[in-house]
Amino acid sequence: MASAEPIPVVLGIGGGIAAYKAAELARALVADHCRVQTVMTEAAQEFITPLTLAALTSNKVITHMFAKPGGDGVLAAAVEHIEVARSNRLLVVAPATADLLAKFAHGLAGDFLSTLYLAFEGEVVLCPAMNSAMWAHPATVENVKTLAARPRHHVIQPDEGELACGTTGPGRLPDPARIAAAVHRILHQRHDLDGETVLVTAGPTREPLDPVRFISNRSSGKMGYAIAEAAALRGARVILVSGPVQIAAPEGVELIATETAREMHDAVMARVGEASIIIKAAAVADYHVADVPAQKVKKTAMRLSLELDPTPDILAEIGRVKTDQILIGFAAETQNMVEEARRKLATKNCDMVVANLVGRDGIGFESDDNEVALVASSGDVIRLSRAPKRVLAGQILDQILNLRLTMHARTK
């Protein structure tokens, strides 16, 4: 099975009251398939213990520049900062205190974190947190300006609100979810889909039974939204046609909200001509009530029978009208997923079908993880091991690009 190695990231923690939020950030980074190496200043250890971060990251925590005799195994060797700098792709510092910002801006290296910073050549994400007066001080303003101007540096502005000192204003550590999202964008920013228009469908549809009831399914939309986000990060123009979900649209994506299968069909067919790649990840209802009552159906002791008609087959219709576009279908199955994917591949004129078994604990519908098999028109079957849907989204796009190269080679 194909699998992706976790992305190596350093989490530097400065000595401010907001250091306790670093635990939540560490969990978010690990959930996003990062291997997190934590580095703490001595002051940071006054607010949160190294043991907490070691438990959350399953990795040792570096707390000092030099190992001490009789140390507990979490201390750094004399030149470990060089190895840590070489082996990680991104350094995120949260909270980045006024002291750390000053050290970084002026090249001062008196502890492990500041020394690591000078040796680090990857992307750097700085998340300032401090008292409002300290944030507004001319020295801090100048230091932030200096750091923001450096290549591969990203400064996430602090939030406004009530601070630990009792005042209200700018200086709160940015929300850990916002930091994790920024890290994800930076790590996955690529340009191999520049010039492409990717049309993605996601989520379930709802087919009304009466004004208050509907037929639907357990799709959360997480897989389709992850693909839309990943495609946008790789340079594509993305059109996302979504059923009703509880997820915010990814940044830089055009969202078209729909509810029923008919609405999704009409929205997709109106825009399909613009797309070079079409990814049908939505779980569209197969049946609907043709004549929906105008009033709520009252409950009685009698059994209720419904007459259901088929909904439009969006994937099959795209397969009939597509030109040189790449069409990717999804197959959520409870058994024989590869065989069912092959059937859908042939009958819907897809170039590839992404199949997964639903109903298993921890993967598929409503889950953050998935495990899929990609069945290509060439007959190849590529199995992707269980991973977060965000990670699988990138792997699926990789295989779509490989598929395009293969298709182009055949036409030459």
- Of 283, 278, 286, which Cα lies nearest the Cα of 358? 283
- Which residue is catalytic, options 34, 127, 165, 350? 165
- Of 227, 254, 233, which Cα lies nearest the Cα of 186? 233
**Gap between the Cα atoms of 238 and 258, Å rounded:** 16
For residue 154, give both structure tokens: 């990203």
Q: What share of the chain is helix, strand, coil (3-state, %, to 5)?
A: 35, 25, 40
For residue 364, give both structure tokens: 């598929």
- Identify whether 95 is preceded by a cis peptide bond (ω within 30 of 0): yes
> Rounded to whole angstroms, what are the CA distances from 263 to 313, 345, 381?
12, 24, 33
Q: With contact defined as beta carbons under 8 Å apart, do 21 and 173 qualify?
A: yes
Residue 165 appears among annotated catalytic residues: yes
**Gap between the Cα atoms of 318 and 307, Å rounded:** 27
**Gap between the Cα atoms of 225 and 191, Å rounded:** 19
**Gap between the Cα atoms of 258 and 243, Å rounded:** 5
Q: List beta partners, residue 308.
A: 289
Q: What residues are annotated to the active site?
A: 165
